[in-house]
């Protein structure tokens, strides 16, 4: 399979606990290359646009508050089958359901504050990468 790119966020609960390096090590061990990365502090409105797909869900407001509470690390990961591989390394949304050794099993604090985001399909990966990075920032 050809190289694929996915969009990843290291969420505020993880940046707050200095877990950026430990999480990046998990990605790299799984064969995912970090081809772009920046630490930014989203506004609540920017977080709301990013998670607009969840606008009708009961946890939406809390999720946007959380994502804007402290800095995040936005990333583009590249590798074979990168979207599925990243989701595998992340583990299930709820850390209680996440397989041993996954990022969420090891680091997540709750279903909401679950340390990482990863795109769920090629279409969403393309939209999410373009929301955070310009072409000039994607060196491959």
CB of 64 to ligand RTP, least distance (A): 10
Residues at the annotated binding site? 11, 59, 87, 93, 104, 114
5 strand-pairing partners: 78
SS percent in the chain: helix, strand, coil, step 5? 45, 20, 35
| Number of other residues whose CB lies within 10 A of the CB of residue 31 | 14
Could you say whether residue 48 binds ligand RTP (CB under 6 A)? no
User: What three-state secondary structure class fits 8?
Assistant: strand
From the candidates 117, 125, 128, 133, give the one annotated as an active-site residue: 117
Largest CA distance in the chain: 39
Among 14, 19, 32, 63, binds ligand RTP (CB under 6 A): 63
Binding site membership for ATP: which residues?
11, 59, 87, 93, 104, 114
Q: Does 111 bind ligand RTP (CB under 6 A)?
A: yes
| Residue 109 or 139 having the CB closest to ligand RTP | 109
Size of the site for ligand RTP (CB under 6 A): 10
Overall size of the chain counted in residues: 140
Look at residues 71, 2, 4 and name the one whose alpha carbon lies nearest to residue 37. 71
Tokens of 95: 């850390």
- 43 sits near ligand RTP (criterion: CB under 6 A): no
Q: Is 117 a catalytic residue?
A: yes
Q: Binding residues for ligand RTP, per CB under 6 A?
A: 54, 59, 63, 93, 111-112, 114, 117-118, 120
Which residues belong to the active site? Answer: 117
């Amino acid at each position: 399979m050809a190289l694929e790119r996915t969009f990843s966020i290291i969420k505020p609960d993880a940046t707050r606990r200095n877990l950026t390096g430990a999480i990046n090590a998990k990605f790299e061990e799984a064969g995912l290359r970090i081809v772009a990365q920046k630490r930014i502090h989203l506004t609540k409105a920017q977080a709301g646009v990013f998670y607009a797909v969840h606008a009708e869900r009961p946890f939406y407001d809390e999720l946007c508050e959380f994502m804007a509470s402290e800095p995040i690390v936005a990333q583009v990961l590249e590798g074979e089958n990168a979207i599925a591989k990243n989701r595998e390394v992340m583990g299930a949304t709820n850390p209680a359901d996440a397989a041993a050794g996954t990022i969420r099993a090891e680091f997540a604090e709750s279903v909401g504050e679950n340390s990482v985001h990863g795109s769920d399909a090629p279409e969403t990966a393309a939209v999410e990468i373009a929301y955070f990075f310009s072409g000039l920032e994607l060196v491959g």
